[in-house]
Amino acid sequence: MQLSEHFELAEFLVSETAARRGIANEPSPEVIENLRRLCQLVLQPLRIKLGRPVVITSGYRSPELNRAVGGSKTSHHMQGRAADLIVPGLSPLAVCQTAQQMKLPCVQIIHEFGRWSHLAVALPSERTQLLTAKLAQGKTVYEPGLVHV
């Protein structure tokens, strides 16, 4: 199923953890609609601006899969509103900064551990959080703003 010009539903459902553990990762129609919004309002405009492929490394996560990967109990991934991604040839920080500069309708733009970008599409009443995830004493901590890791 095509969600936007350059994104297909299947890209958001692939999970090695789900495959290994036999976890179902099937989205509801509401989740699919959220993924469509994420693609059309955030990811597609970003891809066009960057002129490069945007590779989804984590998209939709069923609640069981989210628990298995240690995701937040309130993760936007479970609603189909978030994607973790990389853009070959660009740093995750540069991707996050571009999303911020474009004023994409994101509730979260997170530079995660210097390794990937997390973008979550906003609802109309939500404001953008800019965060950087780092490890401190073996735990994830979130620092305000987009900074080098």
**Measured torsion, CA atoms of residues 37, 69, 1, 42, in degrees rounded to the nearest 10:** 30
Grade residue 147 by pLDDT with cuts at 50, 70 and 90.
very high
Split at pLDDT 50, 70, 90, the class of 128 is: very high
Q: Report the number of secondary-structure helices (H) and strands (E) in the chain.
A: 5, 8
The residue type found at 149 is V
* Local confidence band at 6 (pLDDT 50, 70, 90 cut-offs): very high
Report residue 17 as tokens: 């953890």
The pair of structure tokens assigned to 108 is 């979260």
**What would the DSSP string read from start to end of 3-37?**
EETTEEGGGGT--HHHHHHT---PPPHHHHHHHHH
Q: What is the pLDDT of residues 62-75, one digit of tens each?
A: 999 999 999 999 99
SS3 track for 41-69? HHHHHHHHHHCCCCEEEECCCCHHHHHHC
- Residues pairing with 134 in the sheet: 141
Note the pTM of the prediction, 2 decimals: 0.96
In this structure, which topology does domain 2-144 adopt according to CATH?
Muramoyl-pentapeptide Carboxypeptidase; domain 2 (3.30.1380)
Q: Assign residue 103 a region (left: φ > 0; alpha: ψ between -120 and 50; beta: otherwise).
A: left
